[in-house]
Amino acid sequence: MTEAGRNPADIRSLADQVERALNELVAAGKLRPGQKLVAGVSTSEVRGQRIGTAGAMEVAEQIYEGVLRVCGRAGLHPLWQCCEHLNRALVAERALAESQGWTIVSAVPVPKAGGSMAAYAYRRMSDPCLVEAAQADAGIDIGETLIGMHLRPVAVPVRPSVPWIGEARVTMAYTRPKLIGGERAVYKLPPDDPDSRTCD
């Protein structure tokens, strides 16, 4: 560990670090098969460089592996956020995008326009496409890439025991349904309480 608490970027350990963090996210959010996970990654930040300046496909490969391990076990659909040059569009499997009615856009992410992570994922997926936006059930942000625009409301932060992947800060969240109704609202039906069953 460095003095700032970061983990120096040992490429061989990145997949394990990502897997550990995401296991904690799945547990905290009680994520279920079929739900969607957005991943925003700056491979430059993982290497200790400023976002968008030193992308690395070998870093992307390791992070992709870590995400796929967890998504495979949990039955989650991974979505990969592009950089701002593609308006933070998402790489998704075409079948998923079509089933969700997402707006598909025409571009192929490359390291200099889309980012190394999105470019790597696009080349590894079976039938990838880019979608303009989605509302994912949970997400991991490695390097402060700002994934919030693709999370459903309401986002609940999760503090990972792995706060850094390489030199990049890790932020995670799952989402929950909105609580509505104000001070009289009940969110779990009390057993055998007739008053909770009526409203004039």
Express each pLDDT in 66-110 by its tens digit.
999 999 999 999 999 999 999 999 999 999 999 999 999 999 999
DSSP-assigned beta bridge partners for residue 129 = 92
DSSP-assigned beta bridge partners for residue 164 = 169
What whole-number distance in Å separates Cα of residue 73 and Cα of residue 188?
A: 30
pLDDT at residue 180 tops 90: no
pLDDT classification of 160: cutoffs 50, 70, 90? very high
Q: What CA–CA distances, in Å, run from 59 to 44, 52, 137, 162, 199?
A: 9, 14, 25, 17, 57
For residue 154, whether the previous peptide bond is cis, meaning omega lies within 30 degrees of 0, is: yes
- pLDDT per position as a tens digit, 29-69: 999 999 999 999 999 999 999 888 888 999 999 999 999 99
Q: What CA–CA distances, in Å, run from 84 to 115, 135, 159, 184?
A: 9, 18, 26, 43
What whole-number distance in Å separates Cα of residue 100 and Cα of residue 115?
A: 25
pLDDT at residue 182 tops 90: no
What whole-number distance in Å separates Cα of residue 28 and Cα of residue 167?
A: 24
Which residues neighbour 62 within 8 Å (Cβ) at sequence distance 6 or greater? 11, 12, 14, 15, 18
Domains of the chain: 11-197 (3.40.50.10360)
Q: What CA–CA distances, in Å, run from 117 to 47, 105, 124, 192?
A: 13, 18, 11, 53
Of 93, 81, 78, 68, nearest to 118 (Cα)?
81
pLDDT of residue 185: 85
pTM of the model: 0.87
pLDDT of residue 3: 39
Residue type, 18: V
Which residues neighbour 65 within 8 Å (Cβ) at sequence distance 6 or greater? 15, 18
pLDDT classification of 137: cutoffs 50, 70, 90? very high
Q: Is the distance from CB of 52 to CB of 2 less than 8 angstroms?
A: no
Q: Is the distance from CB of 37 to CB of 140 less than 8 angstroms?
A: yes
Between 9-23, 85-99, 146-160, 162-176, the lowest mean confidence (pLDDT) is in 9-23
Q: Where does residue 124 rank: exposed (0-12), middle (13-18), buried (19+ CB within 10 A)?
A: middle
What whole-number distance in Å separates Cα of residue 121 and Cα of residue 92?
A: 9
